[in-house]
Structure 1
């Protein structure tokens, strides 16, 4: 029996954010027919985070993800089944993954307070993204300054080589011609 595996990679940048996902496997010709698959989710270090066997649809949550690339692999029982299968995957991170309605019911919060919690979480995520952008901008600025420095030194070297007596203007030929 030949198994067919396809993997999807997802980059996660926020280590504080929760991740939730929902997948559903179905026949491409008849979407009502669900197709059971095996699924594995691996962390950036290759550790198994979630595994489900013979499931056509399921939800999973990763509470405290680490930064890096997550790998989601779907495996079907045969090549023929894999060719006729489509997978719908909804991946949510941070504010999208948090169920504020469930939180509100659990803590007996009103809708205004729930919306404030959602906005606070959004602001926190925006702040983390801005920090990440600043860090990348700083790295790019350092590379740019290093490149400018190298170009300046190459220009000085080229100028010195061109100003040598035998390097330009044919001065060396006149000396040889006089002999």
Structure 2
């Protein structure tokens, strides 16, 4: 009976994980230019964690000191580290939107030979589940169930976010349709007024010429 419950829990966990948007991003890229930025959409009150390492693309792969700057959608600084080849960031997002992480080399020549390897995790995947298990003295199944609960909550929040976006888009569409309708009415009235003015002008013109 316990085995059946365990299998059911793991099945639910797998299903929920499949439904959850991919929350772990791994990057490895060449800087090319002196400043290179990575952007990612992050939900409101979402946990964000990550790390990076900058090294020489050619040769022995020696570490390359760079500056890192992380900003929220409003341009507010949430993380900054200068003159270091490695760094770790961790924070809770204040609002929904596109977060930007920029790396800057000391000059263009250095950037040309620099490669960056980084990992960026959000939501459930950014949580340290080993620390949770150790702190609360949980076994593997209990940890997975706790993680499942977090996954379900994340999916619920994501669905609410999608619904809010749909409502905003619907409001925008309705507002646009109303404006277009009023614009068409105004254009029609202008056309009618111009036609009436032309008839009046032509009638007056021909009377003056004694044609009518």
TM-score range, shorter chain: 0.7 to 0.9
Matched, 1:120 2:149: yes
Residue 86 of structure 1 is aligned with which of 115, 125, 128? 115
Helix, strand or coil for the counterpart of 2:180? helix
Tell me how far 1:151 sits from its aligned partner. 2.5
Helix, strand or coil for the counterpart of 1:127? helix
Q: Is the 8 A contact 2:46 2:93 kept in 1?
A: yes
Q: Is the 8 A contact 1:44 1:66 kept in 2?
A: no
Q: Is the 8 A contact 2:42 2:122 kept in 1?
A: no
Matched, 1:65 2:93: yes
Aligned to 2:62: 33
Helix, strand or coil for the counterpart of 1:30? coil
Q: Is the 8 A contact 1:12 1:66 kept in 2?
A: no
- Give the direction of change, closer, same or farther, for the CA distance of 1:161–1:82 in structure 2 (3 Å limit): closer
TM-score (normalised: structure 1)? 0.76
Query: Within 2, Cα distance between the matches of 1:125 and 1:38?
Result: 32
Query: Within 1, Cα distance between the matches of 2:172 and 2:76?
Result: 34
Q: Which runs of 5+ in 2 are unaligned?
A: 1-32
TM-score (normalised: structure 2)? 0.66
Query: Within 1, Cα distance between the matches of 2:47 and 2:156?
Result: 16
Residue 138 of structure 1 is aligned with which of 156, 160, 167? 167
Residue 126 of structure 2 is aligned with which of 92, 97, 108? 97
